[in-house]
Chain A
Amino acid sequence: MNTPNELQWTLIVLAAAFVALLLVSRRWATNYARTVVLIGVGTVMLLPFAWLVCAAFKDAAVLNDYTFLPPVDKISNKTVNLKNFETLLGEKQTVQGPVNFWRYVANSLFLASAGTFISLVFSSMGGYALAKYRFAGRGPLITFMLASMTIPGVVLLAPNFEIIWRLGWMDTYKALLVPGCVSAFGIFLFRQAIIGVPNDLIEAGRIDGCSEFRIYMTLIMPLVRPMTGAFCLISFLGAWNAFLGPNIFLQSQQKLTLPVVLNQYIGEYSQQYGVFLAGTLLAIIPPAVLFLSLQREFIGGLTSGAVKQ
């Protein structure tokens, strides 16, 4: 019989501890088992992230030699260093002149945040109209809008390209921001949230002399705050990770976004995995900071409506 390996030994020890605790107290054993399982699952989920962090700091010469970091006795400036970040953050000469990595971060932040905000404004307006106004063709319009969500974006690439080109918007941010002004998903999300707002409130506003726009701004939007937070998160992450659109419509190196630039480190003939992973690590930070600092608001939106009150 083969000798157990490290993993098997760990499982044996954990199982033995469970049995020992079971003999003492059933409650302790249950808590122990729960904790072990959660730690195990958490570890499995965090392993890829740990791998990413290690790879970003490993020298290219040893990148493929160790799954995570080198053994302690082999850790030195030659094996673990900041070279990948230095390469990534260093100024690069392009046909449009020198470009700095932070320019790509600013580009990505601008496109993701401006796109999210614009889409928030127009999608919520659309959602409000479809939720609270009765007009001819409203039903077919909603059906059409929902049906449009089933069409993959790639299918519309060629016609979109032609429109953008005819408008003279190639290699401009308008090519990405304007078509993304309104999202069918966003309209649907806000329509569902706004349907729950009592009509009496809107009528009261009208009686008090509010304009339709003021009702939308001062009555409706504050009441759907949780949904606004959730929409911002979903929309921001989508725009932050967008690859196809920026890759097709933006051409000047200095206008590119992070995902497109990072992809350039994976070439046809050689790959700078270390630099690519260092960039990926940095690219995770802005959305992570945003999510962690605003998580209560985001989660509030995602769970709103889950319980009938």
Chain B
Amino acid sequence: MGFPYGTAPLVILLIAIVSGAAAMLSEATSPRADGRPDLIFATFSKEHAAAYQPAVERFELEHGVDVQLQVVSQRALQGRLQSSMQVGADVPDMVELLDGTLGVFAKGPVEDVGFVDLTEHVHREGLYDRLVTSRFGKWSSRGHIFALPHDVHSVMLAYRRDLVEDLGIDVSMLTTWDEFCRVGREVVTKDLTGDGVPDRYMIDLPADGGDALRLLMLQRGGAMFDEAGNVAFDNPAAVDVIDWYVRRVAGEDRISFPAGWGQNLAKAMTDGLVLFYICPDWRLKQFESDVPSLAGKMALMPVPAWEPGARRTTTWGGTGLAITKQCGNPDLAWKLAMHLYYDPAQLGERFAQTLILPPLKQAWTEPQIDAPSPVFSGMRVGRAYADLATQVPEEQSSAYMTLAVAKLSEAYNNALAHFQAGGEANLHEVARNELKSAAGRVRTVMERNRFLRDGAEIPVAAAAGTAKGVR
């Protein structure tokens, strides 16, 4: 006689009993932590956590405290933090925030931001001058610094050195985007098989604009938001960049291919489909691990400038360390933050592990910064990024960054559609109008937020002066 309700529920019930017993047994036999640690520090990056672990252990010994380092995926970390702060639930004492996420927590009144205002601490420790100052913009709202910058993330171009040399290209001559595009058109972007489709492209650029459009705008001086937090992406620089970008991804002057991410990107790199890749320092490790076969065949060069002698880099991404207001011992948290982020003794070794340049200028004299990279043809990659670090443009955080980026993308795609349908006639005009309209929509939404309207954003530099005065 069988189970009267069918085999399926019987099997599922048995699985529940057996797996439940196994999970309970495993929990009962595993060692338990004794109470809440003195500090809980959550990060979204296991690479960061691995790099911090030795420093955290030293800190625990020095201070006789217990620090718990948690790795939580970015999506979960932000979701939990938002929900927990809204309902007043328990949150970690310290958290690492991903670029662009501070704005989510700083939408309301500045005094209600769930993180400790670090402005005074930053000035007391002299960090404002010891770090790359432009990095504070990402972690500030209305003149208040809510997180400490972990990185600089200056950007270079990584390229297939072997193929570029075979083509006789001298990268030292590619100093401007005009020259870069000329070489891209005349030398690189070619149909090698005669099937009417190019088999080699100059640069990897996402066809939908993606982050590349924004970081090229930044390089040209066109930020999404100005220092006072106002929408600024309808500026003339942004119009010029859209006009330029559209012609690089479509039409006769196209020199780019969207190589994407992961296996697609690795395939494009190994096949030599694309020669140049936008490469912030955090991407170095990705290239190392995803395309090990290209070790020794890659190299780096500064990003071409928009005008001769102008800025040769931009920035992409970032991490900030914030202390939550619920932290029971903010002084200890601050000490740990200083130990992890700005102790030069830690930073050289950490660079060797992550290849992410720290924003503390003093750390750039560590020997690891000058170590040659076997992957990038023996180049001293740390020094290359450090040399560009002080040129990194400032990017402001905003609660409306996500919306603004979406609207920028809309404007760009409309301009691209116009170009594809009717050619270059009026492209500049269309781009200007589209940006104006997109920025207008963001302004309308922002106008509804009385917290931002009433307490207008104060530039970080201005707040710096105030804070120094207080001190």
Interface positions of A (Cβ within 8 A of B): 2, 60-65, 67, 95-100, 103, 106-107, 109-110, 113-114, 116-117, 120, 157-158, 161-162, 165-166, 170, 218, 221-222, 225-226, 228-229, 232-233, 236, 247-248, 251, 254, 260, 263-264, 267-271, 273, 290, 293-294, 297-298
Contacts and interface: CB of A to CB of B under 8 A. Distances in A.
A117 B68 CA distance: 36
B89 A107 contact: no
Given A228-B8, A268-B45, A297-B7, A113 B23 contact: no
Given A110-B16, A113-B13, 4 more contacts: A67-B267, A161-B87, A221-B4, A294-B7
B11, B98, B293: residue with the most chain A Cβ atoms closer than 10 Å: B11
Nearest to B67: A95
Given A2-B195, A65-B293, A221-B4, A270 B285 contact: yes
A226 B27 CA distance: 37
Contacts of A65: 266, 270, 293
24 contacts: A60-B292, A63-B266, A64-B270, A64-B291, A95-B33, A97-B31, A97-B32, A98-B30, A110-B22, A120-B12, A158-B83, A165-B89, A228-B8, A229-B9, A233-B8, A247-B75, A263-B73, A267-B46, A269-B45, A269-B47, A269-B354, A269-B356, A271-B290, A297-B8
A218 B4 contact: yes
A39 B260 CA distance: 31
Contacts of B290: 63-64, 271
B417 interface: no
Contact of B5 (A63, A221, A294): A221
Contacts of A233: 8
Given A269-B47, A297-B7, A116 B12 contact: yes
Interface of B: 4-9, 11-13, 15-16, 19-20, 22-23, 26-27, 30-33, 44-47, 68-76, 79-80, 82-84, 86-87, 89-90, 98, 195, 262-263, 266-267, 270, 282, 285-286, 289-293, 354, 356
A117 B5 contact: no
Contacts of A222: 4-5
A232 B5 CA distance: 11
- Please give me the 8 A-B residue pairs with the lowest Cβ-Cβ distance, nearest first: A64-B266, A109-B19, A113-B16, A110-B19, A113-B15, A162-B87, A161-B83, A232-B8
Contact of B8 (A170, A260, A294): A294
B6 to A, nearest CB: 4
Nearest to A121: B9
Nearest to B319: A268
Contacts of B27: 254
A157 B9 CA distance: 29
A240 to B, nearest CB: 11
Contacts of B82: 158
A61 B32 CA distance: 38
A135 B75 CA distance: 45
A97 B79 CA distance: 25
B87 A267 contact: no
Contacts of B4: 218, 221-222
Contacts of B26: 100, 103, 106, 254
A95 B84 contact: no
Contacts of B5: 221-222, 225, 228
